[in-house]
Amino acid sequence: MRATKTTMKAILTDLTAEQKALLDNLMLVFGTAIRYSFKRQLEGKPLGDLEKMVANKYNFNIRQAKDAVESARQTIASQHELVKLNHSNYVKKVDVLLKKMKHPKLSECKLKALTSKLAKRQRKLAYWKAFLTSQTFPPVTFGTKSLFLRRCKGLITKKEWQDRRNNRIYSRGDRSKGGNLT
């Protein structure tokens, strides 16, 4: 029997100020550990060494460190998959436009519009192909790009940005402790 992974989103209610401060600090440190792990993995650090580095640097037990490193690894893997997906989507979009442009009864205006659209899609295709061939991906913004841009424009405060950026925690059970790790 294969174990399934489930994600549970939770909202904690009736927290005391002390509990909220502890939780906020835990999420801040965990988010920082994920971003640190993300950068080190891009530099090519081995996962085993990285787990020990994260545990020492952030005063985590090894399971917490493994969770931070795993979360960063999953982010990297998903970014690589998104590059493949975007590339294949633009290959299809370019093909569709090329087929449309072969239609014999296109007006001059319509042909010009399709040519412009084709050029734009070919630029996007080249953009994603460059990432695919170099086995990289576009820059990652933790906390969403739109919020980051709003912060840059001064539309949200630094505190609001940090609260949104660090508002996550990831935890797994431990099989040896009777938890759910498989």
Task: Find the helix or strand (DSSP H, E) in which 26 lies.
Answer: helix 17-43
Rounded Cα–Cα distance for residues 167 and 178 (Å): 27
| Residue 2 belongs to a domain | no
| Residue 10 belongs to a domain | no
pLDDT tens digits, one per residue of 36-88: 999 999 999 999 999 999 999 999 988 889 999 999 999 999 999 999 999 99
59 vs 177, which has greater pLDDT? 59
| Residue 9 belongs to a domain | no
| Residue 12 belongs to a domain | no
Which residues lie closer than 8 Å to 80 by C-beta, 6 or more apart?
Answer: 135, 137
| Residue 111 belongs to a domain | yes
| Residue 107 belongs to a domain | yes
The CA-based angle 47-29-67, given to 5 degrees, is: 35
- For the segment 113-133, the average pLDDT, to the nearest whole number, is 95
| Residue 139 belongs to a domain | yes
Q: How many structural domains are present in the chain? A: 1
Alpha helices in the chain (DSSP H): 17-43, 47-58, 62-101, 108-134, 145-152, 158-165
Q: Is the pLDDT of residue 1 over 50?
A: no
Structural domain boundaries, residue 98: 17-177
pTM of the predicted protein model = 0.81
| Residue 21 belongs to a domain | yes
Q: Is the pLDDT of residue 170 over 90?
A: no
Tokens 């493994």 identify what position?
A: 66
